[in-house]
Structure 1
Amino acid sequence: MLFDFSGTLFRVESTESWLRAVLDETGHTLPEPELRATARSLEAVGALPGGASPVQLPAHLAGVWAVRDESAELHRAAYTGLSRQVALPDPALYDSLYERHMTPAAWSPYPDAAEVLRVLRERGIGVGVVSNIGWDLRPVFREHGLDRYVDAYVLSYEHGVQKPDPRLFSVACAALGADPRQVVMVGDSKEADGGAAALGCRVHYVDHLPVTDRPDALLPVLHLVG
């Protein structure tokens, strides 16, 4: 079984939490109304990876946005480019925000993620994580105790290919030694994760919701495999 990362097994913190953490870490302060307004602006421009998509994508970022998950450099350029549309008290904060989202503290597993992965391991079913991403998410899984259940990580930036390109799913199936026709891909994006269907994988979708609003959406996948 293959899983997407963001919005499927884990969810990133809220944009306001993200901004507050970075301001605290760097010793900056903003009046409360300004902090909340800035967080709303950052959310609107889509500055938080794993958060909301841009309401309107600037023309000068359209090219890098389309291929943002193909390398670490492109990913950083896309998201720091978006965040720079919003005024912050120190130019260094744009990179600090980007660094924050790559930390385990910025991510929370969905409530049923551990149980689902544990049961799959007990049943002897191989598990792979296939993610469009520009950084190494393995420390997030280790910090939250889920790395023990994952047999393979296939990350777009490490292969220069991003979902829905079937090649990324093919790499994942090969890493598990699995026939794609016997594999289920679980994700939150019909556009990206649906690419697995081109190989013959079954695809199961979950909603990309806050952790508190999605307590058990992963549990049904246990009925999709023997």
Structure 2
Amino acid sequence: MTAVLFDFSGTLFRVESTDSWLRGALAAADVRLTEAELTAAVLALEAVGALPGGGDPARVPEELADAWPVRDRSAALHRAAYTGLARQVPLPGPALHDALYDRHMTPAAWAPYPDAVEVLRALRERGVPVGVVSNIGWDLRPVFRAHGLDPYIDAYVLSFEHGAQKPDPRLFGIACEALGADPHKTLMVGDDRRADGGATALGCGVYFVDHLPAADRPDGLRPVLDLVG
């Protein structure tokens, strides 16, 4: 393999916990809840899958049935889908549901996996071009810049900017073209076997990591270095 594509959420970065997410949004809005109220709201938000990058909802509400499967094709759909899930949970003020969505787009809401910088730096030292291919509804570049990973990324291919989402092979093709890479010599690294596995349609190799909290996956990316020449 002579080029590598990485997924974002659950692969290079992990979103904060629902507890931290809610506390951050409440603090920014200067809204206070009791610990009991906060705990109940956290559990409810987790149950409906309201945190982007967190767990999937157990059930998608009927009013979101059309938007949910294609939510990553546009910024508007992505926001509508996730704020729609969040609004199933009563909060002290309707603006908080949008504040929660805004919070998850901030660099503070994300942490790189412990070995991400090490692996990306090693790939750069070997002269291996690297791209990020993500199903997402917002610009993640500021997250990479804030955490110091942007210098190691040669191309970003984000679903909402192209109106298509993984596993559509077009996204992987766009990334390979941006890197000047042969798909048959390109490795796609991700945590979603269906979405990221779409790269195989172009002949890319694939390597899957587990979508775990960052502290629970200290070295899941290091095997990538053994697969790349």
**TM-score for both structures, normalised by structure 2:** 0.98
Which residue of 53, 56, 63 corresponds with 1:53?
56
CA distance in 2, matches of 1:218, 1:33: 38
Match of 1:123 in 2: 126
Residues 12-161 of structure 1 aligned to structure 2 (within 5 Å): 12-161=15-164
Deviation of residue 175 (structure 1)? 0.3
Match of 2:178 in 1: 175
**Alpha-carbon separation, structure 1, partners of 2:27 and 2:98:** 15
Letter in 2 for 1:216: D
Specify the alignment match of 2:168 in structure 1. Answer: 165
Unpaired runs of at least 5, structure 1: none
Cα deviation for residue 34 of structure 1 reads 1.2
Deviation, 1:58, is 1.1
Match status 1:206 vs 2:206: no
**1:162 alignment partner AA:** Q
CA distance in 1, matches of 2:144, 2:224: 20
- Corresponding residue SS for 1:67: helix
Letter in 1 for 2:5: L
More relative contact order, 1 or 2 (CA 8 Å, 6+ apart): 2
Shift of 1:156: 0.2
**Structure 2 unaligned residues grouped into runs of 5+:** none
The alignment partner of 1:184 has SS state of: strand
Q: Which secondary structure state, in structure 1, belongs to the residue aligned with residue 66 of structure 2?
A: helix
Aligned match for 1:193, one of 176, 192, 196:
196
Aligned length: 226
What is the TM-score normalised by the length of structure 1?
0.99
CA displacement at 1:56 relative to structure 2? 1.1
Moved over 4 A (4+): none
* Separation in structure 2 between the aligned mates of residue 2 and residue 83 of structure 1, nearest angstrom: 31
Q: How far 1:59 moved relative to its partner?
A: 1.6
Q: Could you tell me how far 1:128 is from its partner in structure 2?
A: 0.1
Deviation string 1:85-113 (CA, Å, 9 cap, x unpaired) is 00000100011000000000000000000
* Residue in structure 1 matched with residue 226 of structure 2 by the alignment: 223
Cα separation, 1, equivalents of 2:49 and 2:195: 18
Q: CA RMSD of the aligned region, Å? A: 0.5
